[in-house]
Amino acid sequence: MKSKVIESVLTHIMRSTHTTIRKYNTNAMLLSYLGNDQQNDPLVCDSEFAEELIKQSTGQYPKIYLEEHPIYYAILESEDGVYIIGPINTDYRIKEIRGRTISEYIAAKHCIKEKAHRVPFCDYDRFCEEVLLLFNIIKGTKMKISELNDKNFGQDYFHEVRRELGEIYFRYQENEKLHNPYMREVREMNSIREGNVNNLIKSIDEEFEGEYAVLSKDAVRAKINLAIVGLAISARAAIEGGLSSEEAFSINDSYIVKVDSLVHAGQIDALVRQAKVHYAELVERINRRKKSNALIEQCKELIYKKMHCKIIIAQLAEELHVSPEYLSTLFRKEEGVTISQYIMQKKTILCKNLLIYSEYTNEEIAYYFGFCSQSHFGKIFKKYTGYTPRQYRDKHGLKEFKGD
């Protein structure tokens, strides 16, 4: 019975992550294979690499193996073998490794006959969730992603951080430096939380003694890292002010992707200022409206969670314990659009991001966001943007995000 459950989970993981799953014995003999191209598989073509991954296995937890950022594998030990899942690309923004495209790099490194080997994209946390699902069934125990990361990576950096902390203390004391005042940051976040744009601008423009933390040895990277921290806490202040958490995090992701592409300090500072004002304006808009209906906010959160599936209104209503008719009527009254229109608007925004930042085909994007066909995706996309997906990618593409 357990073997059938494991088999079903393996099939689910393969379909969910679009990657390959192999099972080896401890002598590196391939026992089973779930995937579409065994002949050009990195581990099949490179037996030494397969042996290296097998040696990484531990019965205590899944081993997350980083081959070269952003390429990951997972290794899980069971009673009768070792499962190896991957490779997956956890960052669609990265196109090259060591001067080659990712697909060319993998093919060359592992002696694959084809010149390129496509590596599927999968969000890191989602990948870990799928790996832990298999681990929990094999071992009959539960592990969280935080525990998984801690066991794989936690101790590697602990002593380095402690050493760096000592150096930072010494550097600041020696030069009699101070960090930027905490209360200024509090005033900024309170302004966003209250939706008070005027107070926010005053707080941002305050003069102060001290300086911002240096978060990297590279000056531009330090600015970017500091900006990411500022964007993250600003998003959370906006959530506390009433902005939907999914909307805030989606906006934040967009700003972080953009700031990560910039190369000038002035550009970075301007973008962060713009983002903070944007959050304050969104909260201000919420405050101007009557208090949001709690049921509609729950509905919107649920929609965001199901964005990669075909969303059925009746199922939303069932999970929210109301009738579809009541939910549809209330949603249109509160939001000014139907549930279906809202879903398509939000899916279109996410599709636009993938068309700009990734190399995924229209068909793959349509499948990823639960459209019934590529033609349906094209029709909906043109309705809300005025462009076909191809036209939008050709017009906007990656060229706008290189930070010239």
DSSP letter string, 235-290: HHHHHHTT--HHHHHHHHHHHHHHHTT---HHHHHHHHHHHHHHHHHHHHHHHHSP
Task: Specify if 294 maps to a domain.
Answer: no
Q: What is residue 215's predicted lDDT score, i.e. its pLDDT?
A: 53
Sign of the dihedral defined by the CA atoms of residues 370, 371, 373, 374, in that order:
negative
Transcribe 14-67 into DSSP letters. HHHH---EEEE-TT--EEEEESS-GGG-HHHH-HHHHHHHHHT--TTSPEEEEE
Q: How many domains are contained in the chain?
A: 4
Amino acid in position 34: L
164 and 248 housed in the same domain: no
94, pLDDT greater than 80: yes
DSSP 3-state assignment of 372? coil
Residue 212 lies in a domain: yes
Residues 208 and 239 grouped into a single domain: yes
Same structural domain, 275 and 375: no
Do 219 and 262 belong together in one domain? yes
State the pLDDT at residue 178. Answer: 47
| Average of per-residue pLDDT across 206-231 | 73
pLDDT of residue 82: 96
Q: Are residues 319 and 283 in the same domain?
A: no
Q: Which long-range contacts (CB under 8 A, 24 or more apart) does 24-32 make?
A: 24/50, 24/54, 24/81, 24/82, 24/84, 25/80, 25/81, 25/82, 26/54, 26/81, 26/82, 28/54, 31/81
Strand, coil or helix: what is 88? strand
Residue 265 vs residue 129, higher pLDDT: 129
Task: Please indicate, yes or no, whether residues 190 and 252 belong to a single structural domain of this protein.
Answer: yes
CA distances to 129, 196, 229, 239, 278 from 200, in Å:
39, 6, 17, 16, 11
pLDDT (average), residues 88-111: 91
Do 172 and 186 have their domain in common? no
DSSP 145: H
Q: Contact at 8 Å (CB) between 333 and 361?
A: no
Pick from 249, 318, 237, 218: which is nearest to 283 by CA?
A: 237
- In this predicted structure, the answer to whether residue 326 has a pLDDT above a threshold of 50 is yes
117: domain CATH number is 3.30.450
263 in the same domain as 166? no
Q: C-alpha angle with apex 142: 141 to 143, nearest 5 degrees?
A: 130
Region 166-185 average pLDDT:
56
CA 339, CA 299: separation in Å to the nearest integer? 9
Based on the domain organization, do 282 and 323 belong to the same domain?
Answer: no
* Pair (170, 187) in one structural domain: no
* C-alpha–C-alpha distance, residues 27 and 265, integer Å: 54
Domain that holds residue 192: 182-288
Q: How far are the Cα atoms of 128, 129, 304 from residue 147, in angstroms, in the given order?
A: 11, 12, 26
Confidence at 168, pLDDT banded by 50, 70, 90: very low
Considering the domain architecture, whether residues 9 and 75 belong to the same structural domain is answered as yes
Instruction: Round the average pLDDT of the chain to a whole number and report it.
Output: 85
Contacts of 288 (CB under 8 A, 6+ apart): none
In this structure, what token pair is assigned to residue 2?
């357990």
What span, in angstroms and rounded, lies between the C-alpha atoms of 10 and 134?
7
pTM (predicted TM-score):
0.49
Report the amino acid identity of residue 388.
T
| 179-202 mean pLDDT | 84
Q: Does 139 lie in the same domain as 6?
A: yes
Place of tokens 């405050």: 287
